[in-house]
Structure 1
């Protein structure tokens, strides 16, 4: 009965949101998916990330480019952001994923990785990996210029990569050396099945050393000067972000667009209306908005996404969440089925483990924590919290929809964990994520990378989530999964089993990323890359959309 009441209550909340633009915004999620596009959400694991090791060499030929038709050129591609970036666009050592994805239009990497694991040469034309001697040698593209007119070469790459090492963003590396003007060698301290593909990460975006040295670090933070298909024009904080075409881009015939424009629209309903009025070319939507837009016949791409989780401060000995019984109580208190049904509107699925929709990670006989509020109260009593306690869930609404956290807080309140939802601005949330938090949980999302082993380093390694306890058993299992020659499903599942047994994080939903387009808008990159990563050098607009 309580479950039906909860679903009914959530539906009333959503209905009220539709009637009033003054209601709290329903935020979109930005968890990158890695599955091939589908037309409907799936209910069972159907996706198999690649299980072969990445190639140790690459072709020297540039990426294949279809000869464009003349009518592919022109127009400004317009999209919306829920919030602006919290970290610098122009200085990767200090940036985070929210800035990497936007800066990528101007700042390129040596390689780019597709969702099927294929490695695409970008600023590097080829490479050799010597696992025995722990080196990676990259042969760089010649004739490339930074946006300030200076030369791209091995010295520039070393300058950038030395900064990444100093910032703690290249833990597998010992040093970088220049072999000649267009060859660099990276000396490793270990090699894992993510070491090569990790170079596609935002921490390894290449900026102009000269631009930084001549203009200063403060200027560089706000001015991404790279080699990419678009040049940075301006960023008005929490208002708009603008790029213009790089007419001297190294890849002949690209880009097709004259420019890119992002506008910051915090409210989901306002974003949806802007799209319906033709002010935006592309929109990622969730819940009832996605349901409405799909029913109206817009072009749509639907992909399985990552897993939404709660991240407790279990590494703080004085926190209630340091006790596994409390973490189990939280898990039993969440009605995942009600969340998926009442707020997901067919675009979310209950998640009792990480990445349940992928064959490589799905554990069929997992002893799940099904909704049981009485069990949750019993566990709290055993942990010494019979009267409950108060806590907070800090959530960045560009990652996790606000309504999910509000509903979870209500569920926790029912068992005596009096929970305050907190939705900080991007900068403050980044402080929590990398600096730590106390007597609270973070509402976060774990991306389903093409190689799920990337998760263990990206989210649970380095300086990420310092308030989260990572046991020796978890670290050993993660190291074993990373060290395997290929992506071993048994080793991946062993890591996930330990996360589940220790209630290290608390998964509750697996999202489906739904992206809508106006007629005449072409975004072929979404077929081969993460749906939330806009591959701007491949996008183009038909004349009526310019």
Structure 2
């Protein structure tokens, strides 16, 4: 297999980003298993919510072993979730304490009901590794040596080059996995990865339709099987919290949106993989608000708004983004459109360290090109992860009064209809304040040899697959 982003952390809870989770899945399982509607049992066979929503009790699967031979049990779950909470990530912060009721029952005591919790436990926050391995070997060792309960056991990792797993003979799902081994090679250049796939040097490649939108169709034409799924929405983030920034003025933020012809960019660059967006929700998702008509391309309107804000002659700024995942043609097109209304923007693509600083520490006099993960499961959780009310991510983006309440309303709803209405209201709140500039939704794709079966890439979630079910036909 070929994947574009090499992992930095494979086995230590709380510091594992989504892309790292993809690489860890063969070895490290979650409590429930992700589904778009309701997560299904995996290491946890079930969960029960208290009538007041203030606690959730997990029933755990018996007879499961970690790869080091130690038992998966309630103490292991508590150990992992406590480590995650110590990292102060937005996921799981609603858990105020964890009680071990018996060897296979855990109660999560909550500050308030949160409908995102089952989804968080079905993704990175719910991945469970061996406490013994961490206690005896330490954090630095665990980061590069995942010891989980999954169908494959970690063998070796040549940093940024290749990750190897072998079949775990004592896996709790009898008869699985079907494959003897999995090898993941890390190739950042998608064209190079595609060439290796076409040459038969790999069975599968995972790719981003944001970076190379033409590639999925090219590979399909070459006889490979290609699956796609909506994954993210691209947007621009202004430094609106900085009072001396032009973007502190709402008129300027609206002008940016009116200045950019999203439909033209999508038509010219995406080969049908992107869809222009008029709100911070991927088109077609249940959270899309039908009352939002969007700010259609209108550069005269943009110029007038800039003049009203005191920038009739425009201003200079920059567009920042991660060099590894930014479509340079798209950002150049945005730069050109902004220049037509007087906003002169330099493009500044950042390495991973500088990009992390932008995400965590903020920026000045710039707009940031980034993406919001698009999961149909829980919109509020996605927004909270990227734009939490406490400013722990993208702190230069202003959260207007009422934002936190709108966000909490999405995750505190007890039923889907209420959650949907609250999510649509959150989208409208963000739109009305021009909090971000929505651009277009994108897809990820998995291109496979015809022999690859039941891998579940690009089926339910953009960074999820089922290595234990995968097999190769002759």
TM-score (norm 1): 0.80
* C-alpha contact (below 8 Å) 1:313/1:322 kept by paired residues: yes
User: Residue 446 of structure 1 aligns with which residue?
Assistant: 372
User: Residue 307 of structure 1 aligns with which residue?
Assistant: 233
User: Residue 114 of structure 1 aligns with which residue?
Assistant: 35
Shift of 1:388: 2.7
Give the Cα separation in 1 of the matches to 2:248 and 2:214.
37
Quick check: 1:98 aligned with 2:24? no
- Which of residues 65, 72, 84 is equivalent to 1:152? 72
- When structure 1 is superposed on structure 2, of 217-226 and 277-286 the one drifting more is 277-286
- Which of residues 181, 203, 219 is equivalent to 2:141? 219
Deviations 1:322-368 (A, max 9, x none): 22112112111211011111101111111111225225233334242
Given the superposition, is the C-alpha separation of residues 351 and 296 from structure 1 closer, same or farther in structure 2, using an over 3 Å criterion? same
User: Residue 465 of structure 1 aligns with which residue?
Assistant: 394
Higher relative contact order (CA 8 A, sep 6+): 1
Give the Cα separation in 1 of the matches to 2:52 and 2:63.
32
- Which of residues 419, 436, 439 is equivalent to 1:508? 439
Give the Cα separation in 2 of the matches to 1:247 and 1:421.
51
* C-alpha contact (below 8 Å) 2:229/2:459 kept by paired residues: no
Structure 1: gaps of 5 or more residues: 1-77
Shift of 1:168: 2.0
The secondary structure found in structure 1 opposite 2:350 is coil
The secondary structure found in structure 2 opposite 1:92 is coil
Give the Cα separation in 1 of the matches to 2:123 and 2:462.
16
User: Residue 37 of structure 1 aligns with which residue?
Assistant: none
Counting only pairs closer than 5 Å after superposition, residues 182-331 of structure 1 correspond to structure 2 as 182-283=104-205, 284=207, 286=209, 287-331=213-257
Shift of 1:315: 1.9
Shift of 1:187: 0.6
- When structure 1 is superposed on structure 2, of 384-393 and 305-314 the one drifting more is 384-393
Quick check: 1:373 aligned with 2:299? yes
Give the Cα separation in 2 of the matches to 1:160 and 1:285.
31
Quick check: 1:518 aligned with 2:441? no
Given the superposition, is the C-alpha separation of residues 84 and 328 from structure 1 closer, same or farther in structure 2, using an over 3 Å criterion? same
Matched residues, number: 463
- Which of residues 75, 79, 85 is equivalent to 2:2? 79
Deviations 1:10-38 (A, max 9, x none): xxxxxxxxxxxxxxxxxxxxxxxxxxxxx
- Which of residues 374, 386, 393 is equivalent to 2:312? 386
Give the Cα separation in 1 of the matches to 2:15 and 2:237.
23
Deviations 1:285-306 (A, max 9, x none): 5322223223334222233333
Given the superposition, is the C-alpha separation of residues 129 and 338 from structure 1 closer, same or farther in structure 2, using an over 3 Å criterion? same
Given the superposition, is the C-alpha separation of residues 279 and 173 from structure 1 closer, same or farther in structure 2, using an over 3 Å criterion? same
Give the Cα separation in 1 of the matches to 2:85 and 2:334.
39
Deviations 1:168-202 (A, max 9, x none): 23211110011112211111111122223321120
- When structure 1 is superposed on structure 2, of 475-484 and 337-346 the one drifting more is 475-484
- Which of residues 38, 46, 62 is equivalent to 1:142? 62
- When structure 1 is superposed on structure 2, of 391-400 and 306-315 the one drifting more is 391-400
Counting only pairs closer than 5 Å after superposition, residues 494-505 of structure 1 correspond to structure 2 as 494-505=425-436
User: Residue 284 of structure 2 aligns with which residue?
Assistant: 358
Counting only pairs closer than 5 Å after superposition, residues 6-17 of structure 1 correspond to structure 2 as none
The secondary structure found in structure 2 opposite 1:191 is coil
Shift of 1:443: 1.7
- When structure 1 is superposed on structure 2, of 147-156 and 362-371 the one drifting more is 362-371
The secondary structure found in structure 2 opposite 1:318 is coil
User: Residue 275 of structure 2 aligns with which residue?
Assistant: 349
* C-alpha contact (below 8 Å) 1:400/1:445 kept by paired residues: no
User: Residue 475 of structure 1 aligns with which residue?
Assistant: 404
Give the Cα separation in 2 of the matches to 1:321 and 1:429.
20
User: Residue 162 of structure 1 aligns with which residue?
Assistant: 82
* C-alpha contact (below 8 Å) 2:444/2:458 kept by paired residues: no
Superposition RMSD on alpha carbons, in Å? 2.1
The secondary structure found in structure 1 opposite 2:466 is coil
